[in-house]
Structure 1
């Protein structure tokens, strides 16, 4: 009996231990589930999904979707359309001037590098695609919607002439970079549907895939084809691409449009105004309230149905001026509007978020200083906005300088090019370095891009500062002339500068006399007669 009692006691203890173990396990599982719930509560489901999909960068299809939405808003949403137009006007509204300062000594005398740059800049095809006013407006708007521009430089290998064309953002599927440096692009893979007419006169569509090298990428070995998938695709070494991207993070292959951050707020402001208009319209349907008792309600409705008809200037029926006659126990009174919110200014914070995303003041975006603002506030370009626009101009400066330097290199490299020099390989990078004849380096900072000032400083103040700086004797006269012409808003500054300089780019004093020219020539050891003949 004692043994049986001990066995029963032991069995009871074992069962109790098993129950306790199971209970502890359940508590542990509950604790784990609670912690998981807390982690999920810390992150919104949409935010978690977004970050999981873009640990490195937005997907290519996601970028296409963003760009498509931004394009639709840029056309149909007044705030996005206005914001991108204002940004474009700030950046390119006053024009831009480009010139080359370097000149080399060729076999036939002085080489005019600036003439090569001006001929390239003013080429009708380049004007239509990149350098013209309309093209600049289109490309800047493209940065606002797509965040990326791909400028292909189609080069004539014999003459060195460069034709600029853009590749649509949707057609560039991939950027192939240096495997050891993501910031150094090597190739751009373009995939698109090419439509043409075959020999039978039928329109056919073909899916093509080509590769384009980066603008400054020129390795020692240049493959004619690159394998992708199961096929080999051509490489266009005569059409390198310069990629312009904005709003990207470090290491990203593509940029994001300026309008992306403003799309949700622009839609919210549109919905708010639509609801506000619906509210006002609903309030305008019922302006009076009539109450009556018993059988007189039917008579009241009959009397109101016989109200006189009329029309508004827009052609809608109205009953303004109608008179209601009823018995003493029927009351007709206006519906009170004090409880209805019909103030459109309540949605202004939504428009402010759109303006913040586009880096422009809300007063400029809405063309309205608001209820408490002043007209001067709406017309003033504040410092943060001015700096943001100057930063975008600096981006375009780098773009124009890179393209112009490529034009100079090709003008030297081509057998029939207009410039003479030498082409060597950079020992530290896969690119070419071109030196003009006369020891002028084409890759030096020789390209000058001038933007008119964005501030509203009075012209008298600017001119006085230029004159004072010139009076120190340390500023070259050519630079003084450029600053004055830019302050006056003169277009085609380079043409006027050419008229004020000689063939070597030296300043020619318009007030200099023949005698002074002869004396200066004698002091410099030159023939005074030659100086006199040169001034005639």
Structure 2
């Protein structure tokens, strides 16, 4: 019996029940873990593939294609066009007041004259500082995510002229070895008069002691434009990225989807309007003349048919003709552009209200203020360079000392002249002018506010752009306030007491 049991495996089955069963359970558990790991690996393969596509897409060529597509959509797509225009209007629509504190009074150098000369230069206004240029560049940030401002400098007199370099022409960004936060050069490749050109432009902050004429790479050498440093204004760039990407890129698929939704909605309405009536068949066939009369029958007409013929409207039950169904798609485009959907669509909607469409919530307002701070930082760096060049140039209008620390320069104005520049952005959610003026009048009545400060704030509240010119007409050569209500005799006496204009006081 023992041999027969072994032959049929009965004794081995008894052994499995005790020892091998635990081993089988362990192997089954490991198999389940392996299956789970394989499933997780398959999921990770999908994410890895997506990550690789993301990395490949946002190479320099990928950014160029994204910018080109965003530019095209900013022209042809109403949502993208209006969204970028809204952003530009909120950021730059009310202008900005830029003033240097040192205005030549009390023995200080006239830094404000240098700043205003740069801002008011016709070529600079066309390229950077004018209202039209600001709106254009704000749109370019939305489509390209990058603006390159070259500062062409006259080394003899220190005059600076700003020009923008196209994003498509900037092909690389060279950083300091071991420190990617320090940019040394920007490579520019462009075609002019049918001939290709390549040059390297230094960063506005990169001022090494030794300035070589050529930049040498593995293949050849290219000129370095030391007198044309570049400021790079970048938006939406992640940590470690050399370049940014425009806000419009995230809105492109949703703007396209909303466009296709409206096209389908128009086709549906058109189809329903063309097939408005149906005619039941009759036993007696219609004549050719009767068929032509029914086909050419205009809207609002009546028709006479026989007793066994019937004309009735096509039922609209189940037909979706509500265009508001696509509103969530437009909301995604608005979210990508950072504007309220009510403002983007120029309509508060069926469930909206006028107050909702005309006001900004706190996050949106802070986003626009953040963009203003981005421009403040850029203009502060550019104007700081302008002031430095006015000192460094042999025939520059300002005097001072220059000290070097590694690859940067620090310029100190002579006479402890303050080089602080003030930027005054109007409130985005504008307060009523009556409220502002009343507050200023009340503050002025206390006698603690200087008249020049009160007048400056009042002119800003009224939207006057040439504030500095008006203040110059109301101050003397030393910057002292001249009361418009005082007569010439009082003014002459005051001048005499200060030791000025003694002949006029006699």
In 2 relative to 1, CA 412–36 (structure 1 residues): closer, same or farther, beyond 3 Å? same
Match of 1:200 in 2: none
> How much does 1:234 deviate?
1.1
> How much does 1:177 deviate?
1.9
The answer to whether the 8 Å contact 2:159/2:389 transfers is yes
In 2 relative to 1, CA 479–48 (structure 1 residues): closer, same or farther, beyond 3 Å? farther
* SS of structure 1 residue aligned to 2:293: coil
How many angstroms apart in 1 are the aligned matches of 2:336 and 2:345? 14
1:272 aligns with 2:246: no
How many angstroms apart in 2 are the aligned matches of 1:532 and 1:483? 34
Match of 2:392 in 1: 413
Match of 2:3 in 1: none
* SS of structure 2 residue aligned to 1:215: coil
> How much does 1:436 deviate?
2.1
Alignment of 1:222-237 (within 5 A): 222-237=211-226
In 2 relative to 1, CA 259–100 (structure 1 residues): closer, same or farther, beyond 3 Å? same
> How much does 1:473 deviate?
4.5
1:131 aligns with 2:111: no
Match of 1:437 in 2: 414
Alignment of 1:172-211 (within 5 A): 172-192=170-190, 194-196=191-193, 204-206=194-196, 208-211=197-200
Match of 1:314 in 2: none
Match of 1:504 in 2: 478
So what's the TM-score if we normalise by structure 1? 0.83
How many angstroms apart in 2 are the aligned matches of 1:505 and 1:402? 27
In 2 relative to 1, CA 535–93 (structure 1 residues): closer, same or farther, beyond 3 Å? farther
* Equivalent position to 2:349, from 370, 376, 379: 370
* Equivalent position to 1:213, from 189, 198, 202: 202
Q: Give a deviation string over 1:27-60, Cα, whole Å, max 9, x none.
A: 978964653334434x694x54342355699311
How many angstroms apart in 2 are the aligned matches of 1:274 and 1:332? 30
The answer to whether the 8 Å contact 1:126/1:163 transfers is yes
* SS of structure 2 residue aligned to 1:454: coil
The answer to whether the 8 Å contact 1:147/1:258 transfers is yes
> How much does 1:521 deviate?
7.2
In 2 relative to 1, CA 180–324 (structure 1 residues): closer, same or farther, beyond 3 Å? farther
How many angstroms apart in 1 are the aligned matches of 2:432 and 2:491? 38
* Equivalent position to 1:147, from 141, 145, 148: 145
* SS of structure 2 residue aligned to 1:307: helix
> How much does 1:80 deviate?
0.4
How many angstroms apart in 1 are the aligned matches of 2:504 and 2:71? 58
> How much does 1:407 deviate?
0.9
Match of 1:254 in 2: 243
* SS of structure 2 residue aligned to 1:501: coil
Match of 2:160 in 1: 162
1:323 aligns with 2:297: no
The answer to whether the 8 Å contact 2:99/2:112 transfers is yes
Match of 2:110 in 1: 112
1:36 aligns with 2:38: yes
Match of 1:201 in 2: none
In 2 relative to 1, CA 320–48 (structure 1 residues): closer, same or farther, beyond 3 Å? farther
The answer to whether the 8 Å contact 1:150/1:168 transfers is yes
In 2 relative to 1, CA 119–522 (structure 1 residues): closer, same or farther, beyond 3 Å? closer
> How much does 1:303 deviate?
6.8
* SS of structure 2 residue aligned to 1:438: helix
In 2 relative to 1, CA 462–306 (structure 1 residues): closer, same or farther, beyond 3 Å? same
Match of 2:430 in 1: 456
How many angstroms apart in 1 are the aligned matches of 2:32 and 2:135? 61
> How much does 1:349 deviate?
1.0
> How much does 1:74 deviate?
0.1
* SS of structure 2 residue aligned to 1:163: strand
Match of 2:120 in 1: 122
The answer to whether the 8 Å contact 2:493/2:505 transfers is no
* SS of structure 2 residue aligned to 1:67: helix
Match of 1:18 in 2: none
Match of 1:490 in 2: 464
Q: Give a deviation string over 1:170-208, Cα, whole Å, max 9, x none.
A: 11111222333322222111122x222xxxxxxx322x2
* Equivalent position to 1:307, from 293, 316, 321: 293
Q: Give a deviation string over 1:500-529, Cα, whole Å, max 9, x none.
A: 233333433334567766786798xx53xx
* Equivalent position to 2:321, from 328, 337, 342: 342
Structure 2 stretches lacking a partner, 5+ long: 1-5, 14-22
In 2 relative to 1, CA 157–136 (structure 1 residues): closer, same or farther, beyond 3 Å? same
How many angstroms apart in 1 are the aligned matches of 2:505 and 2:138? 46
Q: Give a deviation string over 1:421-477, Cα, whole Å, max 9, x none.
A: 22222x3x52212222212254xxx11222222223221111122233334544433
* SS of structure 2 residue aligned to 1:326: coil
How many angstroms apart in 2 are the aligned matches of 1:39 and 1:430? 49
In 2 relative to 1, CA 277–533 (structure 1 residues): closer, same or farther, beyond 3 Å? farther
